[in-house]
Amino acid sequence: MKAIAGAMLVGLLSARCAPAAASAVNVGVFKIGPNEYAIDIVADSSSTAARSWDVLTDYDHHAQYVPYLTASRIAETGADHKVVDQEGRIRVLFWTFTMRVTENVRETPPELMQFNAVAGDFRELAGQWTITPTASGVQWACHLKLEPRRRVPLWAVRFATKRYLTAMVQAMIGRAESGTS
């Protein structure tokens, strides 16, 4: 999502470990080109920066509790990056879409995770997650740019982002706040 986001949009975007009280997730979707979109996600959490970072970067376990993410694994670890393979499945109206992405991920613990797709269902998928300490915990924020390989109308990107990415972020925050490994 993570990657996530990817991932998030896969991360790109079924909660098995949803938070008791869902965290408010603010989402903005902006059309920036014929089939290009910018997405901003912001959510506050009572978790610590270290715990939030651990959850955000636990790619090998995301598919166990992040809804709609069916597979997530670290395919390669380099000196200054990781390559993460993710797959997600969403439903829009009558259609079910499976999306795949391989991302190059660079981490600056415990505050910045940058990602960009190197293979998969997006011509472009790039962005960053930040974890910023606040007086009451941390703020999770993601800014990403995406261009699907297939034409996707703005309403469908908004629907998928608000329905699926919101649930994915809520699940990760819930995991961080619960202290579950």
pLDDT of residue 180: 74
Instruction: Give me the DSSP letters along 8-64.
Output: TB--B---SS--SSPPPEEEEEEEEETTEEEEEEEEEESS-HHHHHHHHT-GGGHHH
Phi, psi angles (nearest 5°) of residue 42: -140, 135
* Digit-coded pLDDT (tens) for 77-136: 999 999 999 999 988 788 888 999 999 999 999 999 999 999 999 999 999 999 999 999
Domains recognised in the chain with CATH numbers? 25-178 (3.30.530.20)
| pLDDT digit string, tens, across residues 119-175 | 999 999 999 999 999 999 999 999 999 999 999 999 989 988 999 999 999 999 999
